Amino acid sequence: MKVLGLGNALTDVLAMLPSEECIAEIGLLKGGMQLIDEDKLLKIMSVFEDFDTVLATGGSAANAISGLTRMGLPGGFIGKTGPDSYGKFYHDDMEKNGVELHLLEGNTASGCAMTMITPDGERTFGTYLGAASALIPGELHPGMFAGYDLLHIEGYLVQDPELIRRAVELAKNAGLKISLDMASYNIVNENLEFFHELVRDYVDIAFANEEEAFAYTGKEPEEAVKEIASECDIAVVKCGKLGSIVQKRDEIARIGSTPTKCIDSTGAGDLYAAGFLYGLSKNYSLKVSGSIGAVLSGNVIEVIGTKMDDNRWNQIKLKVKRIVENNETL
């Protein structure tokens, strides 16, 4: 299986904060993602001057695709950057991770996600979209989708409904399946009707954490996964330390989590999606696929940002091999 991602091409600028006070002062919602303008971006940058920062390629769909390529599955990504250092960093880092790029260049500054990590490991995003939001429906063409089997979309893109509609229609015409990560509970709340349209009419696999699932259904995970699964082929609800629940028609799999120390939860859901899709590509069961997702997500929260070194990826692959060969599901 070859997976194509579509999402905001963002460079994550990550800072470890000593407390939650800075987030409140900036005016962001802890644990969520909010779009910011240039004035608020400059305000956050001034706050970040007091802390060490780390750069990493980001964007939910791009993180998932990078995880898939590190697991040995071919993947590509569609996005847009600007003619600047962030854009060059993004291109070079994604290419280094083996991602086939369909990266367009705009005239505005590259997008960035100012990522605030509090002592509990929770991350809060203030996202300046910049060139990432300049990707328009007319720039998507059938050739971008040729040779792929699945299109993975991040829910953040619902703020441009016509772009998503164009993408899913091109994908379906090319015979691709579609997976959707709901991305953030506040995004689901603000775009609920369109999310339901997407899932009912186009999506084969839907990923949500418990907050997003509640925003989508108004129900707790056990009931939420059933409702989402009634609208698409496979529904996944992630419940943090409590693991995850996956349902396909009448089949339900409950997966545990890996015991870890959470340093930074950035990318946990994205890497879970990567692991789960990797498992499905190998025709593994829902339980095994979910367990692989849990291994990837459990590892990424032990590092700052979403990129893990070769040694950690080698350990992940050994763990996945044991899961597959000995059915050591979580």
Q: Quick one: tokens of 42?
A: 């400059």
pLDDT confidence of residue 34: 86
Cα–Cα distance between 38 and 229 in angstroms, integer?
Answer: 40
DSSP 99: P
CA distances from 117 to 48, 53, 299 (A): 11, 11, 17
pLDDT confidence of residue 249: 95
CA distances from 16 to 20, 122, 154 (A): 10, 10, 25
pLDDT confidence of residue 83: 94
Q: Which amino acid is at 37?
A: D
pLDDT tens-digit map of 213-257: 999 999 999 999 999 999 999 999 999 989 999 999 999 999 998
pTM score of the predicted model: 0.90
Q: Check if CATH label 3.40.1190.20 holds for domain 3-9+59-110+130-326.
A: yes
Domains of the chain, by residue range, sit at 3-9+59-110+130-326
Task: List helix spans (H) across 5-59.
Answer: 21-26, 38-48
Cα–Cα distance between 319 and 46 in angstroms, integer?
Answer: 42
Residue ranges of the chain whose pLDDT lies below 50? none
